[in-house]
Amino acid sequence: MRKCLLLLLLVTITLYGHTENGYDLWLRYPRIPAGPYNNQVQQLTASFYLPVTSPTLQAARDEVQIGSRGLTGKMAKPASKPHAHVPLLIAVYSPEMEKLTGIPPADTTGLGEEGYLIYSNSAGTRLRITARTDKGVLYGTFHFLRLLQTRQSLENLRIHSQPRLRLRLLNHWDNLDRTVERGYAGFSIWNWHTLPSLIDQRYIDYARACASVGINGSVLTNVNANATILTPAYLLKVKALADVFRPFGIKVYLTARFSAPIESGGLKTADPLHEEVRQWWKNKAKEIYALIPDFGGFLVKANSEGQPGPQDYQRTHADGANMLGEALAPHGGIVIWRAFVYAAENPVDRHMQAYNDFVPLDGKFLPNVMVQVKNGAIDFMPREPFHPLFGAMPKTPLMMEFQLTQEYLGQSTHLVYLAPLFKETLESDTWAKGKGSIVAKVIDGSLHSHSLNGMAAVANTGNDINWCGHPFAQANWYALGRLAWDHSLTSEQIADEWLRMTFSNEKKFINPVKKIMLESRDILVDYMNPLGLHHIMGTGHHYGPAPWVNDQRRPEWNPVYYHRADSNGLGFNRTATGSKALAQYSPEVRALWEDPADCDEKYLLWFHHIPWQQQLSSGRNLWDELVYRYYTGTARVKTIQETWNTVRPWVDRERHEQVRQLLNIQYEEAVWWRNACLLYFSGFSGRPIPGNFEQPDKTLDYYKSLRFPYAPGN
């Protein structure tokens, strides 16, 4: 307890002391301008009562003081006793507290362990935050501070909030040498070499940021796992991070390398049905929980892209997952088994392989096992139809896996707000139990009555001063947390909050920049992967266009595998006359996409091989529409640049200049994507780029010759 409190004292290194370099994320707490709202907030935060009986309540109390000092210039003073006239009261609810403070009867029904209530009087001069647990109090405190940062009315508040999802996780693809697979913001924020003795302030600020948006779990290590993390010396390092995160309601999880019993246990096999192997994992679980009593569990990538797994021993994914589930169950831990599996020796369309592997196992997993499914069946593409597994495994809790790090979306140099991508998936209708069976209802457990449910995303953090490389990439971390807490929020609501907290409350800034954010993903799709094109990026590093690559040792690693360009047309036929991948969706979903004449054009080339001369809804043929999309997407990046220049008065110089320069790179790379792809596809269509468009100034051979041996995140 004392150690946790001492660590939390570091939080008093207040955020407002930093320059505007992005380190403070959305927890800047800038001064509220003089006026009625400032006066109201000063009155409300002049004195507050928050009894500290745990490190979590200490964290809430520290945050109130940090926030009040930043927002008003005066640090809120804690009252020694609760009473009816204290302006701000924050406490775990109890009838005794209600009597002492005059709190009106509070309905805590449905709040669970993490929900909270916020309510105020008609004048907004008395405000109460209460919850059933310390964690609920902490989340409620952050919500209250968000209201102040975004200048919301404090009068007659009646806020009753609880998370829609039980598990809200970040998956860090961080390696023990501090490199980050698909990381574009520097090295890992975990310094394994100096842990457990040195606790970096960044660990605490990371936990604060996660807690502020409701994230309650952190998977510390790469899914391409290293068995070393499970050794005694490294478990002590993990324990140190768990101790830092615990006051903020965050559990730690680890990736488990399936072959760890061989690599670090000295066994000759990792067969999940071998008794000695099962016992090894049980002993390892006991060892972990002795150090970290609230350890979350294991995330596992197995039998995919060369990772070891149960199929190495002719066992199923259920056999492997259940072995680990059996080891963790006595301690309350869970297994999150990734469904991202495909094999080079399997000739079936990669789109279909996860479905084929997992649907026959539905109902065969232990109760503490979840299957984590990517939003789409290929691999975090800029746009994908929802994964056919959603709705197809009613007896198994499925967890959503999104990607914050922009592996296929311009990496750290492109401004791309991902909430619209997340919402597009969450609101897709699976028709699993009739109309309205949207993906969000699958993953929150409501569709199939699963109490174990959740959402995860591959983190985009690194040790860059601003955490995420691109200042606007922070919005994706923020959006993940907010949607995992409440997936009914709109992309616009989340963008509005983030902009107000991260930059400015000035409408002349918010309105045009919010428009940029909301359009940014569609803009990128047009200059990279229009009309359902996918997986045509450079191989290995995944940086830039390379639709011509056909020399990779595995067929599904070659872009030509996906676009199928020939003299007749373009696109991957996944209908009944092609790979038959569409058959994995319900009949109602198939009906939306199986006829190219009716298929939503954003998925057209995903599911169909379309003749170059075929007329699309615009009246243009496929080739002319492809040209139009690539050029329009690129031109819209110019519009983003122009808009960003107009909001200079409301953005600090350092961040405005950084975004300006990154937008220059984004435009250059959009031109690169446009020219390289159109020059390549022109060779198949037999048609030139029409003369009314700016012609490429480089040849296709030039683009093919480009090499990037040191691209980050590879």
Active-site residues, by number, are 305, 379, 407
* CA distance linking residue 70 with residue 64, whole number of Å: 10
Residue 251 β-bridge partners? 217
Q: 649 is written with which tokens?
A: 């008065």
* CA distance linking residue 14 with residue 20, whole number of Å: 14
Question: Can you tell me which residue has the tokens 């964690």?
Answer: 135
Say if strands 297-300 and 334-338 run parallel, antiparallel, or are unpaired.
parallel
Long-range contact pairs involving 441-448 (C-beta distance under 8 Å, separation at least 24): 442/390, 442/391, 442/398, 443/165, 443/390, 443/398, 443/399, 443/400, 444/164, 444/165, 444/487, 445/166, 445/397, 447/391, 447/394, 448/394, 448/395
Q: Give the Cβ contact number of residue 51 at 10 Å.
A: 17
Q: Could you tell me which of 503, 466, 502 has the C-alpha nearest to residue 185?
A: 466
Say if strands 88-92 and 454-458 run parallel, antiparallel, or are unpaired.
unpaired
Task: State the Cα angle at 100 between 95 and 102, rounded to 5°.
Answer: 85
Residue 90 β-bridge partners? 129
Query: 422-431: string of b/e by CB count within 10 Å (b at 16+)?
Result: bbbbbebbbb
The DSSP call for residue 32 is P
Query: For the residues of 349-414, what is the DSSP string, one character each?
Result: -HHHHHHHHHGGGTT-S-TTEEEEEESSSSSS-SS-PPPTTTTT-TTS-EEEEEE-S-TTTTGGGS
* CA distance linking residue 382 with residue 424, whole number of Å: 12
Q: Could you tell me which of 672, 669, 679 has the C-alpha nearest to residue 699?
A: 679
Gyration radius (Cα) of the chain, Å: 26
Please name the helix (run of DSSP H) or strand (run of DSSP E) that holds residue 336, with its range, or none: strand 334-338
Query: For the residues of 631-685, what is the DSSP string, one character each?
Result: HHHHHHHHHHHHHHHHTGGGS-HHHHHHHHHHHHHHHHHHHHHHHHHHHHHHHHH
Distance between start and end Cα atoms, the chain: 41
Q: 640 is written with which tokens?
A: 């983003």
The verdict on whether omega for the bond into residue 33 sits within 30 degrees of 0, i.e. cis, is no
* CA distance linking residue 413 with residue 692, whole number of Å: 29
Residues 6+ apart with CB under 8 A from 706: 544
Q: 172 is written with which tokens?
A: 């860090």
Alpha helices, H only, 428-473: 439-443
C-alpha 136: how far from chain center: 22
Q: Could you tell me which of 374, 342, 367, 371 has the C-alpha nearest to residue 356?
A: 342
With the C-alpha atoms ordered 30, 34, 39, 40, is the resulting torsion angle positive or negative? negative
